[in-house]
Structure 1
Amino acid sequence: MPYLSRVVIAAATAILLAGCYTATPDPEVSSRDAEWLAQVPKAEQDPIYARYMMKDDTGEEPGTIIVDTKARQLYYVLPGGKMMRYGVAVGNEAFGWTGTAVVQRKAEWPDWHPPAEMKQRWPHVRDTKGGPGNPLGARALYLYQNGKDTLYRIHGTNEPEKIGRAESSGCIRMRNIDVIDLYNRVQSGAKVIVK
């Protein structure tokens, strides 16, 4: 195929997709957030994992979070037939979790307390105070089933280069700016579907 034809097809495809996907600006952040975010390592982002507003095709109620572990995407259903898409890192095969839960707790720059089984696997992990070096990043949404903590979280990360991979111990990791955006939208009690 001639070069000019490929360019025309690529441009036409971009125009058609522009109606389906809308890039969204970063949320406003506090001065503390800005200072701490500046201390977290930066990573190149594959556009497939960028935050986009798009048409909702989930059939779920607004306010619902859906995590597609195979696609490494999290969707937040908005009113008016729209949803926000975010790239995520998910649990590797040995530690992946699926199911339905609710967001019962939300925290900004949370402390990290690794579960006992994680400390057994990796004796070097320690409790860590909230801040730029914390593995939970800027925000955390705590997932519960039947009133019981699942020990799984949707949270930020201090390893943004791993977005798009199956690298975690089961939690759903997001870029810090994306988890701040999601945190600002999500209400306690929100339904979360991880599949």
Structure 2
Amino acid sequence: MARKQSFVGEKSASSRRAFLVGTAALGLAACSRSLDPAELGLDTASTGSIRPKISVDPAVTNPGVMYAAVTEGPFVLPEIPYEKIPRAFRRQIVPDPTGEAPGTIVVDLNNHFLYLVQPGGDALRYGVGIGKAGFEWSGRANIQYKKQWPTWTPPREMIARKPEVAKWAGGQPGGPNNPLGARALYIFKDGVDTGYRIHGSPEWWTIGQNMSSGCVRMINQDVIDLYNRVPGKTTVVVG
């Protein structure tokens, strides 16, 4: 993947389309082992849609609305104390710095941002946590499936490192304390499951840090928002 100019710091109108898309080795372990879609019960349908007029969406501009408590059936997500989250990592509308087509998800590993590119030159930006050293993944792929309240299955490599998670070798049921959070978007490359996900996390304080085993983690309220905006087969660029 070609390396382009970073868009950290100053972004002028003429330079904002430059974006760093680096290459990195595939990590030894990802967020969960590869499973057959039928086994996971994944949503293969095209659900949700991109909303071009995002600038008038109060849930984008009002953090009290964005990060309020969420109740879905038996599950309750607590309100996020957004004042404790650096402003840069809260959901917001920004000029698109990526140059990618509308509807593309772009993860900027250097700056811990995820962009959902919109028509008209804007992007919806979310703060993310990413893989720690040795567990990074980058490339161009697509979101093959999406799942609400996903089951988390630790990969064998993680069980070897952390024997305490062996109890979930058969899968931890979905719920507010599940490491995959309220939603998961499954990254495939050339039709093959990479084992990496974009997913929610109950550990909102880790956003903006390198903490995970290679996956892209989001605040649960943010990953629900992203899930509702993107259809299946969405292009994702991580770099």
Residues 1:132 and 2:176 are matched in the alignment: yes
Instruction: Pick the aligned partner of 2:112 from 67, 72, 75.
Output: 72
User: In 2, Cα distance between the equivalents of 1:132 and 1:31?
Assistant: 10
Residues 1:58 and 2:95 are matched in the alignment: no
Distance change (3 Å), C-alpha of 1:186 and 1:115: same
Deviation at residue 109 of structure 1 after TM alignment: 0.8
Hey, which of these two has a bigger chunk of strand by percent? 1
Deviation at residue 57 of structure 1 after TM alignment: 2.7
Instruction: Pick the aligned partner of 1:152 from 182, 190, 196.
Output: 196
SS state at 1:84 partner: strand
Identity %: 47
Q: Counterpart in 1 of 2:227?
A: 183
Distance change (3 Å), C-alpha of 1:27 and 1:163: closer
Name the count of aligned residue pairs.
173
Deviation at residue 33 of structure 1 after TM alignment: 6.5
Matching residue's letter, 2:217: R
Q: Counterpart in 2 of 1:141?
A: 185
Gaps of 5+ in 1: 1-21
Instruction: Pick the aligned partner of 1:88 from 116, 128, 143.
Output: 128
SS state at 1:80 partner: helix
Q: TM-score, normalised by structure 1?
A: 0.82
Distance change (3 Å), C-alpha of 1:30 and 1:51: closer
Q: TM-score, normalised by structure 2?
A: 0.67
Residues 1:24 and 2:86 are matched in the alignment: no
Deviation at residue 36 of structure 1 after TM alignment: 1.7
Note if contact 1:42-1:160 (Cα within 8 Å) is conserved in structure 2: no
Runs of 4+ deviating beyond 2 Å: 22-31, 40-44
Q: Counterpart in 2 of 1:120?
A: 160
Q: Which has the higher Rg, Structure 1 or Structure 2?
A: 1
Note if contact 2:131-2:211 (Cα within 8 Å) is conserved in structure 1: yes
User: In 2, Cα distance between the equivalents of 1:67 and 1:104?
Assistant: 16
User: In 2, Cα distance between the equivalents of 1:113 and 1:35?
Assistant: 20
Moved more, 171-180 or 29-38: 29-38
Matching residue's letter, 2:196: Y
